[in-house]
Structure 1
Amino acid sequence: MKQNANASVWLPRAIAVILAALMTLFFAITINNMMTLGAETDRTKNGPYPVSVAAGRVETLLVQCRTLADRPLFTRTDSAINDIERSYAVADADLREKLSFMATAHESDPEAARKLEQGYESLDVAQREYVALCRNADVTDEEIEAYVDGIIDPAVEELLRIDAGILDESTESVEQLYGIVKERGRQTVGWAVVLMAGVTVSLAVYLTLMYRNRMREDRLKADLQEALALAQSASAAKSQFLSNMSHDIRTPMNAIVGLTAIAKTHLHEPDRIAACLDRIQSSSRHLLSLINDVLDMGKIESGKIVLNEDRFSFPEFVNGVIAIVQPQARAKNLSLDITVGTIQQETVIGDSMRMNQALINLVSNALKYTPDGGSVRLSLSEGPSRRPGCRDYRFVVQDTGLGMSPEFIERLFDPFEREESDMTERIEGTGLGMAITKNVVDMMSGSIEVESALGKGSTFTMTVPLAPIDEEEDFSLAGLESARVLLVDDDRDVVEGTLLILDELGLCGDAASSGLDAVPLVARAHREGRDYRFIIVDWVMPGIDGIETIRRIRSEVGDSTPIVLLTAYDWHEIEDDARAAGVSAFVSKPLFKSRLHRVLKHFSHPDDPAEDACEPAEAHVEGRVLLVEDNQLNLEIASELIRRIGAEVHQASDGQKAVDAMANAPEGYYDLVFMDVQMPVMGGIEATRAIREQEREVGRKPVPIVAMTANAFNEDRERALAAGMNGFMTKPIDTAKLRRILEEYLTNPL
C-alpha cells in the first residue's frame, strides 16, 4: 500500500520532468535545424547556385560558338563573316564575365574553373584566326572546314566537358541543400510528434491515475491472498516431502538397527545371523537407492547432469537390467516375460548408465505395483528415427498391476508424487523414480508415454534414439544352411521374433506352442527321416515344462539332436536336472540374433562336441592390491572383501603414502591400486597424477588404478579418468562389480 501511495506521488512528477525534457530537446533541435538550414542556404546562395547558373550560360554560349563556326561552310559572304565576327564579340563579353565569376566563386574545384578560363583564351585566339581565314579568298572551303574540325570543335568540346563537370558539382550541392531541408524538416516533425505523444500520454496517465490507484488496492489484496496460498502450498509440499523422506528413510534404517540388535543376541546361531545379514543388506541397498534418487533429482533440477556418449552392447545392457530385476520378480512370484522384436543394430552409442536407470525404474515400478502372481512383460524393438544417424529403440513395459487413476497420470512425472490408496500405502518409495526417468529420457531426446486404468494394469512406452555402430559381423553357420530348427514356446511374441532371427540366419524354423505338441511333432519327423537339426525349448510352459519336454524328446529321438534350453531365469539351479534330461546348451532370454548365433555355431559340425554357450569358465584371482583409503572401517571392509576373492591386500591411509609405496616398491610388485578420491594430506586425484608422473620418469609400465569412491556423479568419473585412472567404482562396494574388476586385472586361467 505504501509503495502504491508513493507511486501515485512520484509518477506525475516523473511525467512532468519527462515532458519538460522533451520540450527542451525539441526546442534545441528546432533551433539547431533552423541555424543549419540558414547556413546551408547562404552557402548555396553565394556559391553553388550562381555557379550552376553561370555554368549553364557558359554551356549555351559555347554551343553557340560551335554553331557560328559552321556557318561559313554554307555561305562565305562578307556579310555572313561580319555577322559571325559581331556574334563572337557579343558572346566573348558574356563568356568572360561568367568565366571570371566562376573562377572566384567555384570554391569546391577552383582548378577546373581556371582551366575553363584558360581554355577559352585559346578558343578566342582560334576564333579570330578562323574569321581571318574566312576573309582570305585564297583559303579554300576545304581548308576552312579542316580548321573547324581540327581546332575549333575540339577546343569547344573540351571546354564543354569541363563546364559540364562544374555544372554537375554545383547542381549536386544545390540538391544536397534540398536533402538537408527535407531531413531537418522530417526530424523536426518527428520530434513534434514525440512531444505531442508525450503530452497525450501524460494527460491519459493523469486522468487514469486515480482509477488505477483504486484498482491497485484491490489487486494488492488479491496478490497477498495468492502469495499466502502459495506459501501455504509450498509449506505443505515441504512437509509432505519431509514426511515421505522420514518414513522412507526410517523404514530401512529401523530394519538395519533392529536386525543388528537381533544378530548380536544370536551370535551362536549362524543361520539366524546369516538371515539378519541378508535382510540388513537388502535394507541398506534400499536406503542407498533412496539417497541416490534424491541426489539425482537435485542434479537434474540444477541442470548439472551431463550425458555420456559411450559404445555399448545393447544385448548386454538388457541382460544387466534383467539380472537386477529378476530377484524382485521371483520374490513376489511374478511372471517376468521379455520379448525381442526386430533388433538389427546390437552395438550402439549412448549413455547406457542413464538408460539402465530409466529402464530399471520402469520395470521395478511395474513389479512393485503388481500383486503376487501377476505378470510383467518387457518388449524390445528397433525402428527408424527422425534424428539423423540414429535408430529408435523402443521399450514397452506392461503389467497386470494396480493401475493408476486419470488424475494421477497427469502428475505422474512430478517429483515426490505417489498414488495414495489403501493398496499402495505400504509400498515404499520417494515418488522420484518417474520424475527422474522422464527427465533422463527428455535429455536423450526420447519420449515416454503411459496408458493405465485402475485395477487393469499399466503400459509404459519409452523410446530412445541411439546411434548404431555398423559392424560387419559374420552370422554364417557353415554346414547348417537351410537346417530345420524347432522352437517350443508358448509366448507368441517370442515365437515370432525367434522365427524371424532363424530366417535371417538362413535356417528353416518350425514352432510348437507347448511340450505336448512338440513331442509328437519331433517323433513324426524322426520316423519320416526328417529330423530337426536343432531344438530350442522354453523352460516355463503350461502342461509340461521344458525339462520334461526334453526328457520325452530324448526318449523318442535319442541323443543325436542338440537341444537348447531357453529361459528367462537363472538356469544354474536347474542345471543338474536339465543336463540329466538331455540339454545340450543353455541360452537366456531375451533371445538376440548374436546370442542365438553363438549358441548354434557350437553345432556347426556334427562331429564336434556340444559346448555350453552360456557362461565363461571360472577364473582364479591372484595378485597384490594396494588399497588406499583413509576411513578405517571402510579400509577393513574393502580389505576383507578383496581377500575373500583371492588377492593379497596392502594398505595406505592417504594419497601421499600411496605415492611413497609405489615409488619404493619394485616394478611389478603391485598388480592393481584401488584409490579413494577424498583423503587428507593428498587426495586420490593428485596421488594418481603423481604416480603416473613417477612411472613416466623411470620408464615403468603403468599399474592399473581404479577409483573406489563415494563421489558417484559423472563429473567425478571424468576427473578420475582424466587424472590417469583406469576404472571407477562407487561406494558402497558392490561385490559383484569388485569381482569383475579383480578378474579383469588379476585373472590367471585355472
Structure 2
Amino acid sequence: MRRLPAVAAAVVVALMVAFFGITLNNTMATTAQMDAIRAGAYPVSVAAGRVETQLVQMRTLSSRVIYVRTASAIDGIENSYEEIDAELSCNIQLLAEEQARTGIEGNSIQGDYQRLLEAQAELIAFCRDPEVTNAEVERFVTRSIEPIVSQLLHTNAVIMDNSTYAVEQLYVEGAARGEQTVTWAVVLMVAVLLSLALYLYLFHRRWVLQQQLQHNVEEALELAQNASDAKSQFLSNMSHDIRTPMNAIVGLTTIAGSHVDDPERMRECLGRISTSSKHLLCLINDVLDMSKIESGKIVLNEERFSFPEMVSELVTIVQPQAKSKDQQLEIVIGNVSQETVMGDSMRLNQALLNILGNAVKYTPEGGTIRFTISEGSAADDAMRIYRFTVADNGIGMSADFVRHMFDPFEREETAAVKATEGTGLGMAITKNVVEMMGGTIEVESAPGEGSTFRVAVPLRPVPDGEGDADFSAMAGMRVLVVDDDPDVLTGAVEMLVAEGLRGEAASGGRQAVSMVAEAHAAGDDYRAIVVDWVMADMDGVETVRQVRRKTAPTVPIILLSAYDWAEVEDEARAAGVTEFLSKPLFRSQLCRVLSRCCGFGQPPAHGQRREERRQLQGRVLLVEDNELNSDIACELIRQTGAQVETAANGAEAVDMVAQAPDGYYDLVFMDMRMPVMGGLEAARAICDQACQEGRKRPSIVAMTANAFASDRNQALAAGMDGFMTKPIDVRELERTLGRYLKK
C-alpha cells in the first residue's frame, strides 16, 4: 500500500512522456502529409483539370474541320493545336510522372497523347489534300481522334481520382490522429485525477471492492439474461420461419386433395408445395451447417470437378429466380484458363449460391445483378486464385450492419428485409466456408445503392484431357465477336487470342455489319462470327440476318445467349444461325464450338435441336427401410426407364445380391441407417462377397439423409462408389443413374 503513491506518480510521468511523444509525432506526420499533398496531389489535380479542358478543346477543334476546310480555317486550327499543346504537354508530362510514380493502371497517358498529336498532324494533312472528301475526314476524326481523346480523358479521370483520394486520406488520417491525441489527453487527465484521489481510494478500498463484486454479479446476471433472450429469439425466429413453409405445405396439400378432378389446380398446388418444401429444406440445412461449423466438425471434400459445369449449375439455379423478377443477370467470365480443379465444389457452390440468392432477393424488380469470374496467380505455384464478384443495384445495407453481417442470425432491421424470408445464417455459413477453403470475402454496400461481394478462393488445377484439347488447327483464323457488354467482349477476344486465333470485337450489331462488309470487300473474310442475342442497338437475330447478306453463306455464325434460346431458335436458324452457345462463356466451350463449326471437328446436323433425354437401361436395387421414401424413389427411378427392385434393410440387400446372377444388378442405392443391418455394413459385406467369389459387384451409391462430409467419407471408406443426399434431387438422381446405367 505504501508504494501506491510512488507507482501512481511514475505512471503519470510515463503517460505525460507518452502524450508528448504521440502529440509531437502526430503533428509532424500530419505536417509531412500536408507538404506531400501540396507538392504532389494538389498540382496533379490542378493539372488534371486543365488537361480535361484542353482535351475537350482539341476534340472540338478536330470536329470543326469537318465543316470548314478553307486554308485559313485549317491554318487557324493548326495554330490553335500548337497553342494548346504548348501548355498541355507540360501538364501531360506532370500526369505521366504521377502515373509512373503511383503505379496507376491503364494506358500510358504520355503515349496516348503522342498518338493524338500524330493523329492531329495527319488530320491537318488530310484537310489540305483536295482529293480527300469531307466524309473521309469525318471518318478519320471519328475512328482515329475521338477514341484517343476518350482514352486520354478516362486515364486523366483515373489520375484525378487517385489524387483526390490522397487529399481525402489527409482528412481521414488527420481526424484519426486528432482523436488519438484527445484520447491520450483524457487518459492523462484521468491518471492525474486518480493519483490525487489515491488516498481516498485507500480509505474506501473495501467499499469499492464490495461495489465491484456487486457489479460483477449484476453483469453475470445480465449476460445470462441476454443468453436466455437470444435463445428465445432464435426459437421464435425458427418457429416462425419453419411454420411458414409448413403451413403452406399442409394447406396446399388439403387444397390439392379437394381438387383431384382439376389437373391445372393440382399442378399449381404441387408447384407451390415443391417451392415451400425446398425453402424448408434450406432452413434446416442452414441450422445444421451452422451447428457443424460452430462445433468444428465440418470437413471439406477434396475432389476433382469441372469449373464450367459448377458455374453452369449455379447459373441454372439462379437465373429462373432473376427472370421471375424481371431482373437482368449478367455473367462475365474473365481469364479463366484452368477449368478443371480440385476442391469442394458443393461447398463453393453453396457459398456463391447464398450470395447470388441474396442479390436476387434484395434487388427490386427490373434490377441488375452482375456475376464476374476471373482467375489469377497465387503465392503457391501449384494453386490458382479464383475470384468471384457479385454486384447488384438493390436496396443495399447500412455501414453499421455491414460490420456484423457475418454474425449468425443477424438480419438488418428494415421493412424490406423483414418482408423477405431468411434465418440470418446464410452469410455466416458463407464466410466460414470461404475461410475454411483458405479464401477471403469482402463486401461494399450503401443503402439504396446496392451491394458488391468479392470472394477469392485458392483451388488446385488438374490436367483435363477434354479441357486441354488441341485447337492449333485453328491458329490464325479470323473470328469476329459481337456483344454490347465490353467486359464479355474483351474476355471473349482474349480467349481467342490465347488460342492463337485472330479475335476481333464489335460492340454492336451495326458495327458488326460494317466490319463484315469491309472484311469481305478486302478479301479477308471472317472464318466465324459469334453474335450475342440481346443487344441494345440491334438484336442478335437481326444482326445475323444482315451479316448473312454481307458474307459467304458457308461462314458459321454462332448465337450467344444467357437465356433459353428455344423461343427464338426457329427464327434464328432461318436468319442464318449455324449453332447456339450458352453463357457463361468459357474458353474450352468457345473453342470447341468454333472447331466443330469450322470443320475441325464433327459438324452439327442442320436444324439439330437440343438433345432429348434418352431412356436408361439397367436394373437398380433400392435399399430403403421407409416405405414412403421407397415408393417415391422407385417412381422417380422408373421414370428414367430403369428397372428397380427393393430391399427393406441391409441384410436383405446382401442376400439378394448374393443370390442374383453375376451382373444382374447394375446399381445399388443404399440407405445408411436401417434396422437389422445398416448401409455401411451391407456395403462392406457386398464388396467382400464379390471379392471372395471373384464376381463383378454392382456399383453402390449411398442415398441417405446423413448429409455431412464425414458421412460421405465413411460411405466411400466402406466401399461405396458415390454419395447422394435426401431429399432426392431429381437432376442429381438422373445424373447418377446416367453414370452407372446404359443409355
Q: TM-score, normalised by structure 2?
A: 0.70
SS at match of 1:622: coil
Percentage identity across aligned positions?
A: 58
* Inter-partner Cα distance in structure 1 for 2:601 and 2:373: 36
Q: 1:682 to 1:607 in 2, by over 3 A?
A: closer
Q: Which amino acid is the alignment partner of residue 365 of structure 1?
A: N
Residue 364 (structure 1) aligns with: 357
Q: 1:479 to 1:343 in 2, by over 3 A?
A: closer
SS at match of 2:416: coil
Q: Which moved more, 1:453-462 or 1:504-513?
A: 504-513
Q: Which amino acid is the alignment partner of residue 492 of structure 1?
A: P
* Inter-partner Cα distance in structure 2 for 1:407 and 1:520: 52
Q: 1:251 to 1:580 in 2, by over 3 A?
A: farther
Residue 533 (structure 1) aligns with: 527
Give 4+ residue runs of structure 1 displaced > 6 Å after superposition. Answer: 208-211, 612-617
Report if the CA contact (8 A) 1:478-1:604 is conserved.
no
Task: Give the deviation of 1:213 after TM superposition.
Answer: 4.3
SS at match of 2:207: helix
* Inter-partner Cα distance in structure 2 for 1:305 and 1:676: 21
Residue 696 (structure 1) aligns with: 691
SS at match of 1:543: coil
* Inter-partner Cα distance in structure 1 for 2:325 and 2:411: 21
Q: Which moved more, 1:352-361 or 1:341-350?
A: 341-350
* Inter-partner Cα distance in structure 1 for 2:311 and 2:261: 42
Q: 1:371 to 1:389 in 2, by over 3 A?
A: same
Of 308, 311, 324, 2:304 maps to 311
Q: 1:401 to 1:668 in 2, by over 3 A?
A: same
Task: Give the deviation of 1:699 after TM superposition.
Answer: 0.9
Residue 6 (structure 1) aligns with: none
Deviation string 1:400-443 (CA, Å, 9 cap, x unpaired) is 11000011001100000011212222111100010001111111
Q: 1:340 to 1:548 in 2, by over 3 A?
A: same
Of 659, 663, 667, 2:658 maps to 663
Q: 1:474 to 1:317 in 2, by over 3 A?
A: closer
Report if the CA contact (8 A) 1:479-1:604 is conserved.
no
Q: Which amino acid is the alignment partner of residue 332 of structure 1?
A: K
The 5-angstrom pairing of residues 44-55 of structure 1 reads none
SS at match of 2:474: coil
Q: 1:531 to 1:608 in 2, by over 3 A?
A: farther
Task: Give the deviation of 1:468 after TM superposition.
Answer: 2.1
Residue 550 (structure 1) aligns with: 544
* Inter-partner Cα distance in structure 2 for 1:576 and 1:647: 34
Residue 172 (structure 1) aligns with: none
| Runs of 5+ unmatched residues, structure 2 | 1-200
Of 426, 436, 439, 1:433 maps to 426
Report if the CA contact (8 A) 1:475-1:505 is conserved.
no
Residue 158 (structure 1) aligns with: none
Residue 577 (structure 1) aligns with: 571
* Inter-partner Cα distance in structure 2 for 1:608 and 1:711: 44
Deviation string 1:708-748 (CA, Å, 9 cap, x unpaired) is 11110111111111111111101111111111111111123
SS at match of 2:580: strand
Q: Would you say 1:726 and 2:721 are equivalent positions?
A: yes
* Inter-partner Cα distance in structure 2 for 1:433 and 1:285: 15
Of 317, 326, 339, 1:333 maps to 326
The 5-angstrom pairing of residues 642-657 of structure 1 reads 642-657=637-652
Report if the CA contact (8 A) 1:498-1:591 is conserved.
yes
Residue 589 (structure 1) aligns with: 583
Deviation string 1:294-339 (CA, Å, 9 cap, x unpaired) is 0000000000011122222222221121112111111111111111
SS at match of 1:486: strand
* Inter-partner Cα distance in structure 2 for 1:252 and 1:548: 46
Deviation string 1:5-32 (CA, Å, 9 cap, x unpaired) is xxxxxxxxxxxxxxxxxxxxxxxxxxxx
* Inter-partner Cα distance in structure 1 for 2:625 and 2:687: 21
Residue 74 (structure 2) aligns with: none
SS at match of 2:435: helix
Q: Which moved more, 1:435-444 or 1:226-235?
A: 226-235
Report if the CA contact (8 A) 1:662-1:691 is conserved.
yes
Report if the CA contact (8 A) 1:450-1:460 is conserved.
yes
Task: Give the deviation of 1:704 after TM superposition.
Answer: 0.6
Q: Which amino acid is the alignment partner of residue 684 of structure 2?
A: R
Of 502, 507, 511, 1:508 maps to 502
* Inter-partner Cα distance in structure 1 for 2:609 and 2:299: 35
Task: Give the deviation of 1:494 after TM superposition.
Answer: 0.5
Report if the CA contact (8 A) 1:620-1:743 is conserved.
no
SS at match of 1:602: helix
* Inter-partner Cα distance in structure 2 for 1:581 and 1:274: 37
* Inter-partner Cα distance in structure 2 for 1:252 and 1:590: 33
Of 445, 453, 457, 1:452 maps to 445
Of 707, 710, 726, 1:715 maps to 710
Of 679, 700, 712, 1:705 maps to 700
Q: 1:573 to 1:303 in 2, by over 3 A?
A: farther
Residue 628 (structure 2) aligns with: 633
Residue 123 (structure 2) aligns with: none
Q: Would you say 1:736 and 2:731 are equivalent positions?
A: yes
* Inter-partner Cα distance in structure 1 for 2:380 and 2:476: 38
* Inter-partner Cα distance in structure 2 for 1:388 and 1:477: 26
Q: 1:611 to 1:436 in 2, by over 3 A?
A: farther
Q: 1:607 to 1:690 in 2, by over 3 A?
A: closer
Task: Give the deviation of 1:543 after TM superposition.
Answer: 3.2
Report if the CA contact (8 A) 2:595-2:601 is conserved.
no
Q: Which amino acid is the alignment partner of residue 518 of structure 2?
A: R
Q: 1:337 to 1:396 in 2, by over 3 A?
A: same
Residue 210 (structure 2) aligns with: 217
Q: Which moved more, 1:257-266 or 1:478-487?
A: 478-487
Q: Which amino acid is the alignment partner of residue 713 of structure 1?
A: F
Q: 1:627 to 1:241 in 2, by over 3 A?
A: same
Of 406, 411, 434, 2:399 maps to 406
Q: Which amino acid is the alignment partner of residue 371 of structure 1?
A: P
* Inter-partner Cα distance in structure 2 for 1:605 and 1:731: 45
Residue 229 (structure 2) aligns with: 236
Task: Give the deviation of 1:615 after TM superposition.
Answer: 6.6
Residue 175 (structure 1) aligns with: none
Residue 673 (structure 2) aligns with: 678
Deviation string 1:157-206 (CA, Å, 9 cap, x unpaired) is xxxxxxxxxxxxxxxxxxxxxxxxxxxxxxxxxxxxxxxxxxxxxxxxxx
* Inter-partner Cα distance in structure 2 for 1:683 and 1:609: 51
Aligned pair count reads: 541
| Runs of 5+ unmatched residues, structure 1 | 1-207
Report if the CA contact (8 A) 1:586-1:614 is conserved.
no
Residue 46 (structure 2) aligns with: none
Residue 3 (structure 1) aligns with: none
Residue 390 (structure 1) aligns with: 383
* Inter-partner Cα distance in structure 1 for 2:610 and 2:500: 26
Task: Give the deviation of 1:528 after TM superposition.
Answer: 3.6
Task: Give the deviation of 1:504 after TM superposition.
Answer: 0.9
Of 478, 483, 501, 2:477 maps to 483
* Inter-partner Cα distance in structure 1 for 2:300 and 2:417: 33
Tell me the C-alpha RMSD between the 2 structures. Answer: 2.2
SS at match of 2:453: strand
Residue 286 (structure 1) aligns with: 279
Q: Would you say 1:566 and 2:565 are equivalent positions?
A: no
Q: Would you say 1:442 and 2:435 are equivalent positions?
A: yes
Q: Which amino acid is the alignment partner of residue 454 of structure 1?
A: P
Q: Would you say 1:345 and 2:309 are equivalent positions?
A: no
Deviation string 1:113-151 (CA, Å, 9 cap, x unpaired) is xxxxxxxxxxxxxxxxxxxxxxxxxxxxxxxxxxxxxxx
Report if the CA contact (8 A) 2:527-2:598 is conserved.
no
Q: 1:212 to 1:655 in 2, by over 3 A?
A: farther
* Inter-partner Cα distance in structure 2 for 1:498 and 1:367: 26
Residue 258 (structure 1) aligns with: 251
The 5-angstrom pairing of residues 260-279 of structure 1 reads 260-279=253-272
SS at match of 1:682: coil
Report if the CA contact (8 A) 1:587-1:614 is conserved.
no
Of 459, 463, 483, 1:466 maps to 459
